Amino acid sequence: MKQSKLTKAARGRECQVRIPGVCNGNPETTVLAHYRMSGTCGVGMKPNDLQGAWACSACHDACDGRNQLINRAEARQYHAEGVMRTQAILVAEGMVAAC
């Protein structure tokens, strides 16, 4: 599967989801974790890469519900904030433009 520039940009980056007590702080495990929301994804369709946060493997697992270290609502909140932090970095680095 071909990776987009935004997906590749996650490699080696600091986790932006940052769930206290969950985040492993290891940039070697960071990937682009897509935020799933009704109307932007569905069966066989991922959200676009702008709806992604740089997440370490532990935070990604919490966001996707693969572990229950925090409740689902908290995980979604941290994930959404991570998306916004990731977008801010991408704008600051000139990878995406804000209107």
Catalytic residues: 34
Q: Which ranges of 1-99 would DSSP assign to H, the alpha helix?
A: 5-8, 57-63, 72-92
What DSSP character marks residue 67? -
Closest of 12, 46, 42, 41 to residue 29, by C-alpha: 12
